[in-house]
C-alpha cells in the first residue's frame, strides 16, 4: 500500500485555464466554513487586470450592484468563475522509505523531549495529538454527523491551544511545530488562487492586518504580452487540515476572532490572546515544560509521514462507532480515577477528539512496514495522554524502552539505580569510616575525587541488631541522578515514593549524624542501605565489601 501519495497540486496548472477572455471578471471563492467572497477585476489597455473591489457577501444582488457602480454592466461580456480552496503540503526530501520502527522511535523522541516524568509526557502528548487533530477534525466531524452524535461548539472544530508568552517558549514552540507539521499552502482549481499558509505567524513589526499574512493571490495570463501575472487580493487564504501558531500581540482582537471563525479545521496555538477572546475553551500549554524540549528528532521524517497521514481516511461507519465508544470509555475511566481533574463539558469533548485522532494515527502507523500492532500503539498513546484511562501495554518492557516513567515504574527504576551504585566502577567512590572518624567530602589522597558515600558499621541499639551499611547523602543522589539511574525523572518524587514503599534493605532512618570535622557533627539527610539485606549484589561486589569492612575499626 502506498502511504506517500503525490503531494503536489491536485489541480494541474494550464495556461489556457488562466486566460480571461473578457474585459471584466468576477471570481468567487467558497470557504469550508460555508461562506464565500469575491473579487471583481477589470482589464486595462495594456492587457493587465486590476482588482477593482472585494466582496465578502457576494450574493447575486451585491455583485450586480458592484458591477453597476463600477460601470461594467454596459461594457459587454463579463467572465464569472467559482472556486474552492484546498490545503496542500510541500514535498519533503525524505532520504529513505518510512519504516514503522524508525518512525515510532522518532515519535518517542518527541513525546519524551521534555522529560520522561508523567507531567512532561502528558504535556507533549496533548500538544502532539492536538496538532494531529488539525488534520483529522473535519473527518471526525463528518463521522459524528453520520452517527447523529450531538455536535457541539467544542467537538466540531480542531483544538485551540493557548500558552503564556515568554520569548524562549515562543522560540521552542515555533521549532516544535515546524519540525513536526509539513509546510502548507492553499490553491484553487487551475491554481487561479494561491496563498502561502505560514505555520508560524509572529508579532508584526508594524501595524498589519492578519489577512495580509495569508492573503490570496490571483493569477491570470496577459493576452497582449503572453505572460503570467499575479495580483494580491484582500481575500484570506484558508487553513483546512492544517496547523498554525500565532502571537496575538499586534493584531486586533476582531481580526483574530474572524481568523478563528473562518479556520475551524485548523489547530490553532495562540500566545498573548486571552481565553475570553476564543470561541471555545482552549487547552492550556505549560510554557515551563515546553522550554525544556530537546528538539532532537528527524523533522523531515515527521513532516513526510504526517503529510501522508493527512491524505488517508480509514474508517467506515461501523468501525468509527467502535473507536468512538472506546474513546468515551477511556475518558470515563480517567475521570473516575482523577477526581481533581474530571473531564466534563468542552474539555471532555476535546479529549474524545484527541483520543479519536490517536486511533486514526495508530492505524496509519501500524500499516507501515515493521510497526508494532495498532492496538498496542493506541493504548500506549492513550495512556500517555490520559494516564490510567486504559491498561498500559508496555509496562514490562526494559526501562529504557518505556515512553514515560510513572509511579508504577519507580520500583524498577530504583532497583536499577541501586544495582548501579554497587557496580564495580562505582565501588571506589565510597569511603570506609570507623566510629568517630571524619566523613570527608573528598578522598584525602585523591582531592580531585569526591566522596559519594560512606561504608559504616551500625552498632546494636536496644532490640535492633547491628548491621553493615552504605550511607549515601540525598544531595549526592540528586547531584548525580543521571549517572546513577538509567532514566531521568523527578528525583524528589522517586525518593518520596521509595521511602513510603521501602524495600527490606532500605533503613527507616532518614538522616545520619555524620562527623564532618574534629569538633562538629552534622545531621545529614541520607539513604541508608542495609548491605546484608540486598538481594542483587554480585559476587565481585560482595568480595569488595568484605575486604572494606575488614579494615573498618570500631562501630557507631
Question: Do strands 86-89 and 184-187 pair parallel, antiparallel, or not at all (unpaired)?
Answer: antiparallel
Look up residue 22 and give its DSSP letter. Answer: S
Look up residue 172 and give its DSSP letter. Answer: H
Residue 140 half-sphere exposure toward CB, CA atoms < 13 A = 36
- Model confidence at 154, pLDDT cuts 50, 70, 90, reads low
List, in sequence order, the alpha helices (H) in 294-402.
299-309, 317-337, 345-366, 374-385
Q: Distance between CA 418 and CA 529 in Å, rounded?
A: 9
Q: Which residue has the cell 474539555?
A: 347
| pLDDT tops 60 at residue 554 | no
pLDDT at res. 518:
67
Whether 402 and 409 have beta carbons less than 8 Å apart is answered as yes
- Model confidence at 314, pLDDT cuts 50, 70, 90, reads low
The model's pTM is: 0.78
Q: Centre a 10 Å sphere on the Cβ of residue 400 and count the other Cβ atoms it contains.
A: 9
| pLDDT tops 50 at residue 1 | no
What distance, in Å, lies between the first and last C-alpha atoms of the chain? 72
- pLDDT tens for 497-508 read 999 999 999 999
- Model confidence at 489, pLDDT cuts 50, 70, 90, reads confident
- pLDDT tens for 39-95 read 999 998 888 999 999 999 999 999 999 999 998 866 568 999 999 988 888 877 665
What average pLDDT does range 346-367 have in this prediction? 94
All structural domains of the chain with their residue ranges = 1-88+158-279, 99-155+311-404, 407-550
272-278, Cβ contacts within 8 angstroms, sequence gap of 24 or more? 272/165, 272/247, 272/248, 273/162, 273/246, 273/248, 275/162, 277/248, 277/253, 278/160, 278/162
Q: Distance between CA 31 and CA 400 in Å, rounded?
A: 47
| pLDDT tops 50 at residue 191 | yes
pLDDT at res. 394:
61
Question: Do strands 453-458 and 430-432 pair parallel, antiparallel, or not at all (unpaired)?
Answer: parallel
pLDDT at res. 76:
67
Amino acid at each position: 500500500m502506498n502511504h506517500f501519495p503525490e503531494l503536489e497540486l491536485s489541480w494541474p496548472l494550464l495556461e489556457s485555464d488562466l486566460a480571461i477572455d473578457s474585459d471584466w471578471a468576477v471570481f468567487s471563492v467558497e470557504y469550508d466554513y460555508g461562506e464565500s467572497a469575491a473579487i471583481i477585476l477589470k482589464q486595462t489597455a495594456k492587457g493587465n487586470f486590476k482588482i477593482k473591489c472585494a466582496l465578502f457577501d457576494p450574493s447575486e444582488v451585491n455583485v450586480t450592484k458592484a458591477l453597476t457602480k463600477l460601470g461594467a454592466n454596459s461594457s459587454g461580456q463579463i467572465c464569472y468563475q467559482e472556486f474552492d480552496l484546498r490545503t496542500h503540503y510541500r514535498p519533503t526530501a525524505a532520504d529513505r522509505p518510512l519504516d514503522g520502527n524508525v518512525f515510532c522511535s522518532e515519535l518517542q523522541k518527541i513525546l519524551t523531549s521534555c522529560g520522561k516524568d508523567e507531567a512532561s509526557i502528558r504535556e507533549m502528548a496533548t500538544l502532539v495529538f492536538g496538532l494531529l487533530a488539525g488534520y483529522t477534525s473535519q473527518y471526525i466531524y463528518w463521522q459524528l454527523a453520520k452517527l447523529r452524535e450531538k455536535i457541539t461548539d467544542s467537538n466540531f472544530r480542531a483544538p485551540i491551544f493557548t500558552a503564556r508568552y515568554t520569548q524562549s517558549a515562543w522560540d521552542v514552540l515555533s521549532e516544535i511545530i515546524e519540525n513536526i507539521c509539513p509546510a502548507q499552502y492553499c490553491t484553487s482549481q487551475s491554481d487561479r488562487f494561491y496563498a502561502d499558509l505560514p505555520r508560524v505567524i509572529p508579532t508584526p513589526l508594524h501595524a498589519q492586518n492578519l489577512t495580509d499574512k495569508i492573503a490570496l493571490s490571483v493569477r491570470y495570463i496577459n493576452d497582449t504580452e503572453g505572460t503570467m501575472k499575479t495580483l494580491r487580493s484582500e481575500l484570506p487564504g484558508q487553513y483546512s487540515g492544517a496547523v498554525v501558531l500565532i502571537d496575538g500581540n499586534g493584531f486586533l482582537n476582531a481580526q483574530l476572532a474572524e481568523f478563528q471563525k473562518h479556520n475551524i479545521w485548523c489547530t490553532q496555538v495562540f500566545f498573548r490572546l486571552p481565553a475570553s477572546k476564543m470561541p471555545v475553551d482552549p487547552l492550556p500549554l505549560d510554557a515551563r515544560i515546553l522550554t525544556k524540549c530537546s528538539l532532537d528528532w528527524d523533522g523531515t521524517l515527521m513532516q513526510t509521514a504526517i503529510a501522508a497521514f493527512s491524505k488517508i481516511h480509514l474508517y467506515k461507519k461501523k468501525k468509527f462507532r467502535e473507536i468512538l465508544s472506546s474513546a468515551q470509555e477511556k475518558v470515563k475511566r480517567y475521570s473516575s480515577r482523577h477526581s481533581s481533574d474530571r473531564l466534563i463539558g468542552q474539555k471532555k469533548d476535546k479529549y474524545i477528539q484527541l483520543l479519536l485522532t490517536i486511533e486514526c494515527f495508530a492505524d496509519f502507523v501500524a500499516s507501515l512496514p515493521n510497526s508494532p500492532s495498532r492496538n498496542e500503539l493506541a493504548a500506549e498513546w492513550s495512556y500517555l495522554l490520559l494516564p490510567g484511562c486504559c491498561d498500559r501495554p508496555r509496562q514490562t518492557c526494559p526501562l529504557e524502552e518505556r515512553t514515560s516513567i510513572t509511579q508504577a515504574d519507580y520500583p524498577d527504576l530504583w532497583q536499577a539505580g541501586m544495582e548501579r551504585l554497587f557496580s564495580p566502577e562505582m565501588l571506589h567512590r565510597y569511603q570506609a569510616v570507623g566510629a568517630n572518624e571524619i566523613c570527608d567530602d573528598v578522598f584525602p589522597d585523591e582531592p580531585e575525587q569526591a566522596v559519594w558515600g560512606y561504608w559504616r558499621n551500625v552498632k546494636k541499639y536496644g532490640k535492633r541488631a547491628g548491621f553493615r551499611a552504605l550511607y549515601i547523602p540525598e544531595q549526592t543522589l540528586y547531584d548525580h541522578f543521571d549517572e546513577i539511574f538509567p532514566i531521568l525523572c523527578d528525583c524528589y518524587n522517586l525518593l518520596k515514593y521509595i521511602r513510603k514503599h521501602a524495600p527490606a534493605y532500605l533503613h527507616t532512618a532518614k538522616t545520619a549524624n555524620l562527623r564532618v570535622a574534629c569538633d562538629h557533627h552534622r545531621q545529614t539527610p541520607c539513604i541508608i542501605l542495609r548491605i546484608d539485606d540486598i538481594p542483587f549484589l554480585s559476587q565481585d561486589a560482595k568480595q569488595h565489601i568484605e575486604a572494606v569492612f575488614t579494615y573498618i575499626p570500631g562501630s557507631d
